[in-house]
Structures are given as structure tokens and as C-alpha cells.
Amino acid sequence: MHTKITKLKQLNLIANTIRQDVIKMLHEAKSGHSAGSLGLADIFTALYFNIIYHDPNNPQWEGRDRLILSNGHVCPVLYATLANVGYFPKTELMTLRKLGSALQGHPHKGALPGIETSSGPLAQGLSQAVGMAIVSKSEKKKWRVYCIVSDGEQQEGQNWEAVMLAAKYKLGNLTVIMDRNNIQIDGFTEEIMPLEPIVDKYKAFGWHIIQIDGHNIQKIIDACEESKAVYEKPTMIIMHTIPGRGIPFMEFLTEWHGKTPSKEEAEKAMEILLESKKEIENEV
């Protein structure tokens, strides 16, 4: 496994770097999803630099934890994280969505080291994760399964079939992390197809529920540690996040779900992130 980073300042600086990479990638590609990718930088930093067991030098290590990205359209943050942790050179990030690139608009298993599944159709990732967790449990393996899902996916019927199956098999080795940013491509989730009361729904299906600020890396780490202590239930961590986090002119605006920054917007975003980096560095 890679060396676990425990200092919060260092982790926050990594998240800032990942956000910078996301902006550069999306501007270069002129296609892709900004809001969700920026909003998930903190969770991906916590997972790959502190929480999950994995080895960038041996991507197929049998003992690795499995990380499934169900909402594959936010793959820029996954690609940026994998490059920063050492799975492939960062120079490849600028090939996002280009013809022949391994970094397509949705992750493709086999195209890059560290990609566990191909994703695109929403809600399928949780079904895949449940299947992997069943295998790990039945074969008495130590590796865990982590699955990132969007809140919009909760509107899919397949999602709830997977939720029931995970509860049936008491998959204590499954941690699902929901990006509760309240937006989807057509607008706000509660206007398109209301999800609330989402906590009560998961409790009714027999899951352990944790709610956290999805931008507090320490709380993300603590929540994942708590999930490891729950043996007879799968865990759902509902992360309340801000779409476009870190870039004020993008935050909370549904139009940035699938929009990329212009040259001027990218330059402004980079100025903001570099200033934020200085603030993090100056923290005691």
C-alpha cells in the first residue's frame, strides 16, 4: 500500500491540486462535467491518500480495496486523483476526451491502471459493488468495497434492487458514499424527482447511515473508519457537498453540471485556487 498521509494540511493541499488539475483538464477538453468533479475532490483525496488499501505500483494487487465510481461522468476527479497518487503520468491528464485517449468521458476498465469497472449508465455501479462485496465476504477476504454514487442515481429502480441485496447479505464490508449535492443535469433533484426523506429510506432498507460535511476531510476519514466497525449492515455515508466547490462563480449552479470553463473562466478559477492554496499553506 502507498504511504498513508495523516496531516490534514497536506491532504487539503492535495485536494486543491486535484481541483486545479480538473479545471485544466476540462478547459483543454472543452467537454465534461465541472460541478461534480470539483465537489468530490475532498472525498477522492481522503480515499486514495488515507483510507483505502491500494498500490499504484501493483494495480492488480489481490489484497487491494475496490473503489467503484458509479456516476462515471465525474471521472475527471478520478483521473486527476489516480495521476496524483502515481498510477500514471500527470501529463496524460491533458488528453481527457480526446480521440484515442485512455481518459474517456466515462471510465473504461482496462484503459488505465486503477480503474475497477466501466461506468456510464447510472445506478449500475452499486450493483457491481454489491457483487464484489458478496465475493469478498463469501471467500472470507479482507478487502473492502467502496462505491461512490450520485444523489440523482437514487431515482433509478436498479439502485434499490442493489440496496435490498446488500442488506440481505449483511454486507458490512461495503461502504457506499453518496454525493448529496442536490443537482442533476436537468436541475435540482428535489424538483426533478424528490429524494427526501433519503435517510429514512435507507434506514428502512436496513442500512447503517452516516451524514457528514463532504468537504471536511477529517470527517470523511472518521466516517469511513466508523463504517469498518459495522459488521452486520452495509453503510451509506451521505456527504453533503457543494457542486463546483472551491470556485464561487460555479458553486450551487446547476448549469455547471455538464459545462466546462472558457479560457477566461479557467484563468479566474486557477487564480482562486492558487489563492486558496496560499491560505492552506499559511494555516497553523
3-state secondary structure the chain: CCCCCCCHHHHHHHHHHHHHHHHHHHHHHCCCCCHHHHHCHHHHHHHHHHHCCCCCCCCCCCCCCEEEECCHHHHHHHHHHHHHHCCCCHHHHHHCCCCCCCCCCCCCECCECCCCCCCCCCCHHHHHHHHHHHHHHHCCCCCCEEEEEECHHHHCHHHHHHHHHHHHCCCCCEEEEEEECCEECCEEHHHHCCCCCHHHHHHHCCCEEEEEECCCHHHHHHHHHHHHCCCCCCEEEEEECCCCCCCCCCCCCHHHCCCCCCHHHHHHHHHHHHHHHHHHHCCC
Interval 164-193: pLDDT, tens = 999 999 999 999 999 998 888 787 888 889
Average pLDDT over residues 11-28: 98
Band (28; pLDDT cuts 50, 70, 90): very high
pLDDT at 2: 63
**Long-range pairs for 201-209 at CB < 8 Å and ≥24 separation?**
202/163, 202/236, 205/160, 205/163, 205/164, 205/167, 206/167, 206/233, 207/163, 207/166, 207/167, 207/233, 207/234, 207/235, 207/236, 208/233, 208/234, 208/235, 208/236, 209/235, 209/236, 209/238
Whether residue 237 has pLDDT greater than 80? yes
Interval 92-119: pLDDT, tens = 999 999 999 999 999 999 999 999 999 8
Average pLDDT over residues 246-273: 94
For each of the domains in the chain, give its residue range(s) and CATH number, in order of start: 8-281 (3.40.50.970)
Interval 125-149: pLDDT, tens = 999 999 999 999 999 999 999 999 9
Band (1; pLDDT cuts 50, 70, 90): low
- Say if residue 197 is preceded by a cis peptide, omega within 30 of 0: yes
pLDDT at 254: 85
Return the closest-CA partner of residue 115 out of 136, 88, 92, 90: 88
Mean pLDDT of the chain: 95
Whether residue 58 has pLDDT greater than 90? yes
Residue with cell 424538483: 191
